[in-house]
Structure 1
């Protein structure tokens, strides 16, 4: 039976550390650490703004997190260098399993949606650059609600926009906070454990499904 599936974008379909090669040209051996600091602070800032009810576009969060990473890593990147990195961030690569998984699921007539903290236009550009946009029925952004994941209201917003209910919808995400947020809102959720060392938050709640690759979804959902 076709299922409604909300795919997180950043970190699940799109590799946020795909920026490392560009960073190596600017910060050398610090590239991996810089990238992780940037991503961690990007998420932290979105959490803070959600709690403060002080919403800004996700691109502003990303820019401010980049500024923080420059300070934390003691890298005095110029304005032009920062703009270059932000431009590259808009065309990050997809994970190698994303296209195959989406093709399989679409062939099974599942209803596929991109569901992201990013603005709709930015997510569209990102998915187009990665060659994934054609697989989705729609892109649903938290920007429409002026909040961020894991605010329960954004998951309810997804369900309304997708014209479905929590009993028949899945969230797929590599971010434990996103999985927990969706489950707290009544959705089922699959955690994509992209690293053997990744840890799911020990809150006494387990994902409905844990997979190491997106291509496992088709077999599991159709079992």
Structure 2
């Protein structure tokens, strides 16, 4: 495939929901909570994010691993699933072995060939994110792992997007966030970055905040085509 890229950028990839699928936890949950597995995985993810938002606003920081543990405890109580500590520990360990979406490895390969600087950019603790991406086989494609834990706050605090640009060594206008989360895209745009929204669910709605992503695609391989100057 002949590539036609006139400019290269720093691309910061959100991890959960963009590179890896957190709702894949529904599979191991099936053996523990039966028909509630999908609901359990969805609520766990929702509360995990909610806790990060609330702690960011309250300035009562704990790291994302702690938010994940607390969200697990909440979800058990909310769904009346009393899991032994051993099962809780195994579920938390599974967070380090989430699968990538099917097109991720090939898309990262092409984007790297196009000359872009690829970085992971996450609420997660750096050591946990490195382990997750290594287990998933995609860490070698990424030049850096940028964690908001360094700043002791969470997305969408404007400071974390400025930090991504600084770590990338690019001005904000040449730094991209790539994320499946609309709120993350809005946060990046508000901080002066460019942003691609990976709309993995066709029914997903972008928040009507008078802010628009620079690019909307449904998969990462479509983003490679956009950067190559081809219609998606």
Quickly name the TM-score band, shorter chain normalised.
over 0.9
Deviation at 1:199, TM superposition (A): 1.3
Runs of 5+ in structure 2 lacking a partner?
1-6
Q: Per the alignment, in what secondary structure is the counterpart of residue 220 of structure 2?
A: coil
Pairs within 5 Å for 1:121-136 = 121-136=127-142
Map of 1:65 onto structure 2: 71
Distance 2:88 2:205 in 1: 31
Runs of 4+ more than 3 Å apart: none
Matched ranges for 1:152-167 at <5 A: 152-167=158-173
Instruction: Identify which of 212, 227, 230 aligns with 1:221.
Output: 227
RMSD: 0.7
Could you tell me how far 1:218 is from its partner in structure 2? 1.2
TM-score (norm 1): 0.98
**1: distance between equivalents of 2:227 and 2:9?**
8
Match of 1:24 in 2: 30
1:57-206 equivalences in 2 (<5 Å): 57-206=63-212
Identify unmatched segments of 5+ residues in structure 1: none
CA distance in 2, matches of 1:197, 1:74: 30
Determine the structure 2 residue equivalent to 1:10. 16
- 1:222 Cα shift? 2.3
For 1:179 and 1:70, locate their aligned partners in 2 and report how far apart those are by CA, in whole Å.
Answer: 30
Aligned length: 223
Shift, 1:171, TM fit: 0.5
Residue 4 of structure 2 is matched in structure 1 by none
